[in-house]
Structure 1
Amino acid sequence: MLRLALTGGQGFLGWHVRVLARALGWPDPVLIDRAELLDEATLAAKLDGVDRVLHLAGVNRGDPREVAAGNVELAAALVRGLRRCATQPGTVVFANSVQAGNGTPYGDSKAVAAVTLAAARPDLVDVQLPNLYGEHGLPYYNSVVATFCRMLAEQRSPEVHEDRELTLVHVTDAAARLMGAPAGDSWDAGMPGLRTGVRELADRLAGFAALYRGGEIPPLTDRHAVRLFNTYRSHCFPAHYPLPLTRRADARGELVETVKVHGGGGQTFCSTSRPGVVRGEHFHLAKVERFCVLRGSAEIRLRRVGDDAVVRFPVDGAEPVVVDMPTMWVHNIVNTGSAELLTLFWTNEVFDPARPDTWPEPVELTIAEPAVAAA
């Protein structure tokens, strides 16, 4: 169990580090914002005695001169804080880039930043990261994956201006490498990459979107397919939910198709809950999970890990719908009616108690949180 300090901890990669720390049961990382990074005394106090510092802060886009100067100055600021620490951090890790030293303002400044940090900490762990993708990346900023996913979620077609090959790494795998996390089934610190062309990526995501608009699950043939699909779903939530189901009735009764999976299976199970009973209270890092109430009334509640706001979906068996749990969102379902609740659950993988990808955490916080109503 390590105590981390993060610069840039509010960003895309920083959030995923914090989520993985929560899953591992580590203390919440010490977050260092830009102003604190530039204040030597404050920075030294925050760094003092921590086990591992992750330098994630950087300047990725903007005026080339500002990008070049910004990355070097942020590294120099971290060095000044480290020199004032009474107790040096055990390890310092730099989230570098595979573009380091490539002749661009960004790449060259990342290379200089690495040299600056290594001069103060010869034991620096310098991790050169490729293109990262994952849940809740910022479109038009973090990655082309986030941009394509947002466009598709808004029912627009991705625009491919230049088709080239990319190596994509899921951000949780990168977080695990930077953190020195122990081996886990939901992450791989070896950072296995997906080699794909930009147009191929756009077509693959468009195929996911076309099936998912009707509630169908696309082929999830490997870990990158699952994680790309989860990334797309993160851009659909919560506006696209619940997903309506078609009911077919005749003299015999009614039929509702709840799960239609292309090229895969998974596991389906049902549960009953007495009035007031709450099920769930956990989050997943990779698992796709679907809820469908078949009888009774309930409320499905979700909260993004690290946030306070709770999203609520009232659901009823009289009008069956499905809600798919986004990864890295704590969720539960509570029977809000006076009768027994019957719920169908589906996951994309057979439950394995040795690797459940189920991380306990309550949806409702002890402090009062704002509620976000979902249509």
Structure 2
Amino acid sequence: MLSLAVTGAGGFLGWHLRVLLHALGWPEPIVLTRSDLTDPAVVARKVAGADRVLHLAGVNRGDPADVAAGNVQLAAQLAKGLLACPDPPSGLVFANSVQAGNGTPYGDAKATAADVLADTGVPLDNLLLPNLYGEHGRPWYNSVVATFCRLLAESGQPEVHADREMDLVHVTDAAARLIGVATGGPWDPEMPALRVGLRDLADQLASYAGIYRTGEIPPLRDRHDVRLFNTYRSHCFPAHYPLTLPTRADDRGALVEAVKTQGAAGQTFWSTTRPGATRGEHFHLAKVERFAVLRGTAEISLRRIGDTEVVRFPASGDEPVVIDMPTMWAHNITNTGPDELITLFWTNELFDPERPDTWPEPVGGEHRVPAEVR
């Protein structure tokens, strides 16, 4: 495990990085706030002896002059602290952009920032990142994917005035690359990119929204399909839940459609839970998981990693509903009734004990990862 110091820890990439570190059981990184960066002595003290400093802080949107000045200033402030450090870190990773040096204020500022950091003498890994997408991105700021997802979740429709192609990388893959963790879970440090046009992206996400509105699972053909769907779901939670299940009843009894998939793979299983007992207490980084109470009464509780607020849903076999667990939210289910609870679970992938994507985390317990600044 590396000792890490991080700027921009409260942003989109920073939050996902810290969730990944938490899942892996790594120590909480040293956080360099923007206030810290204004004092070279504070920076020098905090980064002394670190294995790696990750410079994620940046300015992505705003007046072009402010964007340009902000990105260069942040790099210069970090550089002053590194130069003042008597025991400098072993390495420095800059979360740069593929737009660096492209002639725009943002791109040229990113290129200048890399030059400033290179002059510190600390070995620099200048990582050129493409467009990042993922759960809980800020619409109209972090990613066009987040903007499209938020519009669709609020019953709007994305508008594409000028189509263009882009490379999209899931933010967890970028986080894995930043810390140098090998493939061994639902991440890939090689950062496989999805090449997609804006119109095709809007159409794909709109298709997900239309299918999922009824509780059906859209086609999930590859890892990017799963991650785009998870990103869309993150903008639906918790307002769109629980999802009511179609029920058909006659004098023989009732038939409930618990899971309908349009080409998605998966695994279905069920459990019994004694009164007062709790199942779960974990989170997933990529897996789609559905809970449906078949008999008895329960409370399904969820907490986003790093947050303190717990979202709770009552569920009963008498009025069938489903709750789909958002990724990066700890969750559990507790039998709140006097009788045995029967719950059906569905996941989009077969369980692999070598790569389970199930990370222990109590919903109401201690946690270490600060929430993303929203």
Aligned equivalent of 1:64: 64
Aligned equivalent of 1:110: 110
Preserved contact between residue 12 and residue 137 of structure 2 (Cα < 8 Å):
yes
Preserved contact between residue 296 and residue 337 of structure 1 (Cα < 8 Å):
yes
Aligned equivalent of 1:372: none
Aligned equivalent of 2:25: 25
- Secondary structure at the counterpart of residue 225 of structure 2: helix
- 1:350-369 deviation digits (Å, cap 9, x = unpaired): 111111011111111259xx
Give the fraction of aligned pairs with identical amino acids, expressed as a percent. Answer: 69
Q: Matched residues in 2 for 1:85 and 1:120: separation? A: 10
Higher relative contact order structure (alpha carbons within 8 Å, sequence separation ≥ 6): 2
Letter in 1 for 2:224: H
Aligned equivalent of 1:231: 231
Aligned equivalent of 1:270: 270
Q: Matched residues in 1 for 2:68 and 2:158: separation? A: 30
Offset of residue 86 of structure 1: 3.3
Preserved contact between residue 92 and residue 121 of structure 1 (Cα < 8 Å):
no
For residues 47-58 of structure 1, the aligned pairs below 5 Å read 47-58=47-58
- Paired residues, number: 367
Preserved contact between residue 216 and residue 259 of structure 2 (Cα < 8 Å):
yes
For residues 102-251 of structure 1, the aligned pairs below 5 Å read 102-121=102-121, 123-251=123-251
TM-score, normalization by structure 1: 0.96
Q: Matched residues in 2 for 1:342 and 1:201: separation? A: 39
Structure 1 residues 27 and 366: CA distance shift in structure 2, 3 A? closer
Matched, 1:286 2:269: no
Q: Give the stretch that moved more between structures: 204-213 or 57-66.
A: 57-66
Offset of residue 180 of structure 1: 1.0
Preserved contact between residue 166 and residue 195 of structure 1 (Cα < 8 Å):
yes
Q: Give the stretch that moved more between structures: 262-271 or 221-230.
A: 262-271
Q: Matched residues in 1 for 2:107 and 2:98: separation? A: 8
Letter in 2 for 1:69: A
Runs of 4 or more above 6 Å deviation: none
Q: Matched residues in 2 for 1:149 and 1:225: separation? A: 14
Offset of residue 121 of structure 1: 2.9
Matched, 1:101 2:101: yes
Aligned equivalent of 1:15: 15
- 1:168-211 deviation digits (Å, cap 9, x = unpaired): 00000011111111222300010100001000000000000000
Preserved contact between residue 140 and residue 147 of structure 1 (Cα < 8 Å):
yes
Offset of residue 51 of structure 1: 1.9
TM-score, normalization by structure 2: 0.96
Aligned equivalent of 2:370: none
Offset of residue 4 of structure 1: 1.6
Q: Matched residues in 2 for 1:212 and 1:255: separation? A: 20
Aligned equivalent of 1:332: 332
- 1:223-256 deviation digits (Å, cap 9, x = unpaired): 0000000000000000000001122111111110
Q: Matched residues in 2 for 1:164 and 1:360: separation? A: 41
